[in-house]
Structure 1
């Protein structure tokens, strides 16, 4: 049963992602940036981690900010979740922080410490994208 549910979730994510990230970068000088985060959650902390992240996702939704696309581990490597989100501008980040504070959620250094109670390890990588491979060729050939 678990494998059937996992396959359904994975299929849904695979189908939703291209729609959520469909955009062209050919008109932009600077390509968009995304933050790719891999999470290995501490044993027994998965539900609490997801609820913590869902509270923050709800703020982004409420504010109309770009939201992360989440992937749940099915098989293979040892990560539990991957989130891919557009990089927020300083103004968007401030808007998000102000809304979190208004809802009684932590921000800044305190939030970072709170977050770590759920995590065995994680990495964040800033990347260009999403963009097509043609856009990447244009990017590397632009002086």
Structure 2
């Protein structure tokens, strides 16, 4: 009898894998590619020190420029007004480039509001300015977003 039990146990052991529920194969989860980093926009930062007595006229000129932007479907410049510290009066921040699909609309809006073009623009705006600097900067962004654009 013990021999029959051992044989049966051996047979059961040998047969069990055939009747056992098959194991689900381990499937590695697909690794999704990391999303492409968001490009950091190129921004123009302009800092102005205004000629004496020309502060209001300068702002009126910039308001006309912003009106042209609005007519063309572009945002106005961001204006910062000096309140304490360094030797400047106004800072303007805006995209460094006009999107190509908005260029014709901006040209038409510029003419519509009566703004000068070409060298006449520079002659006009310089009436109001004692000194200015401008620079292109990447942003706005965050430290994490900018780091994501670095090649590893």
TM-score by length of 2: 0.69
Shift of 1:77: 0.3
8 A contact 1:67–1:86 mirrored in 2: no
Are residues 1:105 and 2:121 paired? no
Aligned residue in 2 for 1:72: 81
Q: Deviations over 1:49-87 (max 9, x none)?
A: 000110111111222202211100000001000111122
Q: Which has the larger radius of gyration?
A: 2
**Residue in structure 2 matching 1:122, options 132, 139, 145:** 132
Aligned residue in 2 for 1:13: none
Are residues 1:48 and 2:57 paired? yes
8 A contact 1:97–1:107 mirrored in 2: no
Superposition RMSD in Å: 1.9
Aligned residue in 2 for 1:17: none
Deviating more after overlay: 108-117 vs 93-102:
93-102
Are residues 1:61 and 2:78 paired? no
Gaps of 5+ in 2: 1-34
Aligned residue in 2 for 1:39: 48
- From the two aligned structures, give the one with the greater helix fraction: 1
Structure 1 outlier segments of 4+, above 3 Å: 26-30
Aligned residue in 2 for 1:132: 142
In 1: Cα distance, 2:52 partner to 2:116 partner: 23
Aligned residue in 1 for 2:96: 87
In 1: Cα distance, 2:104 partner to 2:118 partner: 11
